[in-house]
Each structure stands twice: as structure tokens, then as C-alpha cells.
Amino acid sequence: MKGRAVWVPVLALAMALGAQAQETGKVGEPVAKEFKLKDAMKDDDATINLADFKGKNEVVLVWISEKCDITWRYEARTGKLQEEFGKKGVKFFAVWGSSADSKEGIRGYCKSKNYGMPVLDDANGELTRYFKVAVTPTYVVIDKEGKLRYTGACDDLQCSPASYQKADSDAKERYVAAALTSILDGKEVAITTKRGAG
């Protein structure tokens, strides 16, 4: 199945559950809501509170779908980001927010790909709606102060259905890596939003 097919279920979930107007995140502003989500990879009821990282760590959220071939293609790039920036204190979380996926399917996919990060269970779409996520993968970068600093594609190749299949080495702009580097260096993020194919 082509990755673009996942856009409809994700957007349908967001629209169905959030028909009424609600607060949404804005780049450059603090994340105004407190999100407590379970790790879909675990059976217990323990939750991860994103607000707990404020003042401690930068956070990267990446929306994934087992049925999206762009998620598959960007899995290694997500791993490289985690390897490079995880050692600098950045926390990474995958997010399951697509109605096209089941918990069992997401678990199986993540286990087979050795995802080395928790998978936040956003089956009710609250986090997905807040960050206005419509495709997978979508990357969201939150700084240590709790401000939303970047949202969108991983790199320039993901911005076009004609180029996302190219090798990582062909990327000329790596938006998530650039955003994290700027944040860690205490600089402004040059590109704050880039809509990706998914």
C-alpha cells in the first residue's frame, strides 16, 4: 500500500473526533496542554506525561503507521536522528495516531523494526489534533522550555511524492536535524514548518 493512502484515515480520525473548534499548537509558542499517554508497547496502565520533560529535555515526536511505506522508508532516518541527538539529551517518542492501524499491528511493526523508543498511544486523536498532524510520518520538535519549534517533514525529500523514495544521501535539507542543532546551539530555527508527503 502506498504511503499516501494513510493520509485519509489519519485526517478522518482527527476530523471525526475534533469537529468542534479546539486549541491547537502554534510554532514558537508553549505547548499549552498537558498530554498523558500510555506506551502502546506495554500492557500496564502507566502513562508518559510530556510535560515532565519541560526544563529537562528537548522532545521529538514522530507519527508512524505500519501501513505507510514512507514511514518504512524513514524508519532508518528516524533511528539516525535518535542516535545522534539522543546522546545529547533529546527524548524521542513515536506516536500511533492512525485509525488505519491496530495496537497489535503497531506493536508487531515496531518490534520487527527494533524501534528504540516508546510508542505513545494516541488512538483517541487528542495529540494528533493538537499538532494538526495529517500524514505519517510527521515530526514535531519541542524545546526544553516546552515551546513548539518545528513541525513537518524529516527532510526535503519527504516533501514530494516524487522524491521520498530517494536515498538519504540525496537529501539537501534535513529539517529535523537542523531544528535540533539550532535549538541545542541556542539559535532560532530557520525553517519551522514543512509539509511532508505521507
In a domain, 85, yes or no: yes
Per-residue pLDDT at 198: 76
In a domain, 20, yes or no: no
Which residues have a Cβ under 8 Å from the Cβ of 169 and sit 6 or more positions away? none
Closest CA to 98 of 82, 79, 120: 120
In a domain, 133, yes or no: yes
**Phi/psi at 140 (5° precision):** -125, 130
Domain total of the chain: 1
Cα(193)–Cα(168) distance, integer angstroms: 20
In a domain, 9, yes or no: yes
Range of the domain at 123: 3-15+28-38+56-194
In a domain, 183, yes or no: yes
By the 10 Å C-beta count (0-12 exposed, 13-18 middle, 19+ buried), 135 is classed as buried
* CATH number of the domain encompassing residue 64: 3.40.30.10
- Locate cell 515496531: which residue? 110
Per-residue pLDDT at 35: 95
Beta strands 36-38 and 59-64 are: unpaired
Per-residue pLDDT at 22: 58
Per-residue pLDDT at 114: 77
Identity of the amino acid at 130: Y
Cα(188)–Cα(39) distance, integer angstroms: 32
Per-residue pLDDT at 4: 42
Per-residue pLDDT at 93: 98
Using CA atoms, how far residue 34 sits from 53, 80, 140, 146, 155, in Å, is 11, 28, 16, 11, 28
In a domain, 86, yes or no: yes
pLDDT, mean of each 10-residue run, the chain (198 residues): 42 44 86 93 94 96 94 93 97 93 92 89 95 96 98 96 91 97 98 93
In a domain, 48, yes or no: no
Query: Model-level pTM?
Result: 0.88
In a domain, 78, yes or no: yes
